[in-house]
Amino acid sequence: MSRQIQEERSETAFADFKPPLTRDQAVVEANRCLYCTDAPCVKACPTHIEIPQFIRKIATGNVKGSARTIFESNIFGMSCARVCPVEVLCVGDCVYNEMGVPPIQIGKLQRYATDMAFAEKWEFFQAGPDTGKKVALIGGGPASLACAHELRRAGHATTIFEKRASLGGLNTTGVAPYKMRADKSVEEVEWILGIGGIEVKTGVEVGKDISFADLEKQYDAVFFGAGLGPDSRMSVPGEDLPGVVGAVDWIEKMKLGKVPMTGVKRVVVVGGGNTAIDAVREAIGLVPAESEVVMVYRGQEDRMSGYAHEWKAAKVEGARALWQAIPVAFEGSGKVERVRCQRLDANKKPIAGFELTIDADLVLVAIGQSKLGAMLASLGGIQIESGKVVTDDRGGTGRKGWFAGGDARNGGKEVVNAAAEGKAAALAIHDFLSGGSRG
pLDDT tens digit string along 255-265? Answer: 999 999 999 99
pLDDT, residue 5, reads 83
In this model, does residue 439 exceed pLDDT 80?
Answer: no
Candidates 3.50.50.60, 3.30.70.120, 3.90.320.10, 3.30.930.10; correct CATH number of 134-163+203-227+372-433? Answer: 3.50.50.60
> Where exactly are the structural domains of the chain?
2-120, 134-163+203-227+372-433, 231-365
pLDDT, residue 24, reads 98
For 202, list phi and psi in degrees, rounded to 5: -90, 160
Q: pLDDT, tens digit, for every residue of 212-226?
A: 999 999 999 999 999
CATH homologous superfamily of domain 231-365?
FAD/NAD(P)-binding domain (3.50.50.60)
Q: How far apart are CA 294 and CA 320, in angstroms?
A: 5
How many CA atoms does the CB half-sphere of 38 hold within 13 Å? Answer: 0
pLDDT, residue 403, reads 98
How many CA atoms does the CB half-sphere of 206 hold within 13 Å? Answer: 24
Three-state DSSP class for residue 336: coil
Q: How far apart are CA 19 and CA 439, in angstroms?
A: 41
Q: What share of the chain is helix, strand, coil (3-state, %, to 5)?
A: 40, 20, 40
pLDDT, residue 1, reads 42
C-alpha pair distances (Å), 60 with each of 30, 63, 141, 279: 9, 8, 35, 41
What's the chain's average pLDDT? 96
Q: pLDDT, tens digit, for every residue of 290-324?
A: 999 999 999 999 999 999 999 999 999 999 999 99
Rg of the chain, C-alpha, whole Å: 23
C-alpha pair distances (Å), 273 with each of 78, 161, 299, 402: 24, 30, 11, 32
pLDDT, residue 437, reads 59
Q: Describe the crossing of helices 415-433 and 142-153 by its angle, rounded to 10 degrees.
A: 40
* Residue range 118-141: mean pLDDT, rounded: 97
Q: How far apart are CA 63 and CA 111, in angstroms?
A: 11
pLDDT, residue 41, reads 98
Q: What is the pTM of this model?
A: 0.96
Which architecture characterizes domain 2-120 according to CATH?
Answer: Orthogonal Bundle (1.10)
For residue 374, what pLDDT band results from cuts at 50, 70 and 90? confident
> Quick check: do 134-163+203-227+372-433 and 231-365 share a fold?
yes
Q: pLDDT, tens digit, for every residue of 394-428?
A: 999 999 999 999 999 999 999 999 999 999 999 99
Burial (CB < 10 A; 0-12, 13-18, 19+), residue 385, is exposed
